[in-house]
Every structure is written in C-alpha cells, then in structure tokens.
DNA sequence: GTTATTGGTATCCATGAGGTAACTAAGTTC
DNA sequence: GAACTTAGTTACCTCATGGATACCAATAAC
C-alpha cells in the first residue's frame, strides 16, 4: 500500500472516501439523485416523488448534495418562487453505479425476504426447543 | 405501473426494495461485506479490519446481515471460542455493485472536496458581501 | 486459584437524525 | 384586505443509533 499517494480506502476511518461512501448511503440523498435522473425538477415535485419527506429534511439533503457538487440549485425570479434542482456532471456520473445497486436491491428482494423467514423460523424453533 | 406483479420500486416507501436499498447504505453493513470479500474471517479480525467499531454494534450488524442471508455464522467448538463469518452466494453477488460504488467514491474524492471548498468560499463571500 | 483468551451480552448514556407545526416573503387573485 | 401560492426557515420534541464500559462463560496454562 502506497501511503504517499494516498490510496483511497473506504475501510480507513480517516479517508474522505469513507465519508463520501456513507453520504451516498444517506437515507434520502441517493433517492433524490435517482429522481433527478429524469431531468431538472422543482422542490414541490421532488417532495411528491420522494414520497413522505418533510420540507426541512429535503432542504437539508438538497443543500448537502449541492455543497458536494452533485446538484445545482437554480432560483427563478418569479412569484410564487420557482426553484429547479438538476444533476451536475458529477451527480450524473453517480447514476450508473447507483442504478446498478438499486437494480440489485430490486432483483434480490425475494431472496432476502426468504432468508429472513427462514432465519426467524429457526429462531422460533430454538426458543420452543429450549 | 402493474401493481399486481409488484414492480420493485425504491421510491415507494412501502416497497421492500426501499428497505433493502437503505440497509445496504447502513454505516457498517456495507463495510463488513467488503471485508468479507477476502474470505471467511473471525469476529476479532473483523473488528480490526473495520477499524473502530464497538463489539455491540458489530454484533448487531452481523446478526442483521445473517438474518438477511448475506453471511453465514459458523461456531467452532473450541475454547477460547472461534466464530467465522463468511459471505453467502447472495452476499457475494452484492460485491459487484458495491465495489463499483466504492470505486466511484474513491475516484471522485478530489472532485467532491473541490466542490465543497468552492461552495464554502461562495458562502463566506455572501456573508462578507452582506 | 489466578490469569489469559475469544466472542460476545448488559447497561447506561449522548448525539443527532428526523418529525411536527407554525411562520415568512412577495406578488396575484378575489 | 384576505387568501393562495412556492420554497423554504425556525423552534421544539422524540426516538433510535451507536458509543463507553463492565461483565460473563469455559477452559487451558501457570
């Protein structure tokens, strides 16, 4: 391992990649990015798409994504206000790995639910068996 | 949208794929899976690899991964005890998308840090400018 | 009988993530 | 002048996650 060239390593708690890796795993951030895949969208539309997120939390999520360079925020001088959010090139580049992960999750739902049932049954038997 | 055939959709809060998608984003789970990529490993070794995780939290993470069918837990009848954790086929299949995401994160660390600096500078100027 | 080892568990506690609800700006409509 | 609109902000509260610490079981070595 070449520590001079700072090899990024998610397992190192001091490596920025670990922080970034976990930011991607954020409850809302990755969902927002995937909604933005269909093009620019305004705040209220986004709220509807990402079902059940409070304005406060959505704002927090969007600010963080903006700060990290994943999205841009465009305020239109209108009344009532109109604000559009759009993926940057960086944000768009995240779509590919993120989509693969989403597809994996969607594909393996049955396997995981099955594993859970089997595990829970085994637990029950262990308890009954004493 | 065909609701009878249950099209998996991460954006639907009631879809199991959303839960699973977010479990992958768990602080420790995805890290553990990536460590297990190198083959079976015992509890104490795992703790050293995933740097700074308390035994309680590691146990919780491992139990959840086991329940969801990502890993197996093998207890050897020895004293002192030896417990090995190993990826299942399901868990191993997650490695591919997860690795792509990790590589993305590691590759884009500089871009993100740069975006952050630019954003913070802009914020500072806005404050100074009044 | 004391100590060391491994893989945990039990208990308590602090942080913070996220939810609720009310409020604001600013112009348009009624 | 009251109400509606969008895109938030603010204050307040709650609950779960995760951290710190101590302890335990079982046996072998000393």
Query: Residue A5: inside a domain, yes or no?
Result: no
Query: Could you give phi then psi for residue B109, rounded to 5 degrees?
Result: -50, -50
Partner residue facing B101 (CB), from A101, A107, A114: A101
Query: Domain span at residue A105?
Result: 16-129
Distance CA B14, CA B35 (A): 31
Nearest nt to the B73 alpha carbon by C1': C7
Q: CB A102 to CB B17 under 8 A?
A: yes
Query: Residue A25: inside a domain, yes or no?
Result: yes
Looking up tokens 């759009």, which residue turns up? A86
Q: How does pLDDT run across A54-99, given as a tens digit for each residue?
A: 999 999 999 999 999 999 999 998 888 999 999 999 999 999 999 9
Residue A115 burial (CB count, 10 A): 18
Looking up tokens 């993470």, which residue turns up? B61
Query: Residue A2: inside a domain, yes or no?
Result: no
Q: Which residues of A touch B106 (CB under 8 A)?
A: 8-10, 17
Query: Residue A7: inside a domain, yes or no?
Result: no
β-bridge pairing B41-42 and A41-42: unpaired
Query: Residue B10: inside a domain, yes or no?
Result: no
Query: Residue A1: inside a domain, yes or no?
Result: no
Nearest nt to the B60 alpha carbon by C1': D18
A21 touches chain B (CB under 8 A): yes
Grade residue B127 by pLDDT with cuts at 50, 70 and 90: low
> For residues B124 and A104, which has the higher predicted lDDT (pLDDT)?
A104
Query: Residue A24: inside a domain, yes or no?
Result: yes
Q: What is the full DSSP assignment across A24-88?
A: HT-TTHHHHHHHHTTS-EEHHHHHHHT-S--HHHHHHHHHHHHHTTSEEEEEE--SS-EEEEEE-
Instruction: Please state the domain count of chain B.
Output: 1
Q: Name the residue in chain A with its Cα closest to that of B119.
A: A67
Look up residue A100 and give its two tokens. 């693969």
| Continuous segment of H or E residues that includes residue A114 | helix A89-129
CATH number, domain containing residue B24: 1.10.10.10
């Amino acid at each position: 391992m070449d520590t001079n060239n700072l090899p990024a390593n998610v397992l190192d708690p001091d490596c920025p990649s670990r922080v970034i890796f976990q930011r991607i795993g954020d409850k809302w951030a990755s969902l927002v990015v995937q909604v933005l895949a269909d093009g620019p969208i305004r705040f209220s539309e986004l709220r509807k798409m990402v079902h059940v997120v409070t304005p406060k939390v959505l704002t927090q999520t969007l600010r963080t994504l903006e700060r990290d360079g994943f999205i841009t925020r465009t305020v239109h001088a209108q009344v009532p206000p109109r604000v559009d959010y759009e993926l940057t090139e960086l944000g768009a580049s995240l779509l590919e790995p993120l989509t693969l992960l989403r597809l994996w999750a969607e594909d393996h739902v049955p396997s995981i639910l099955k594993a859970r049932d089997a595990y829970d049954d085994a637990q029950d038997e262990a308890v009954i068996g004493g």
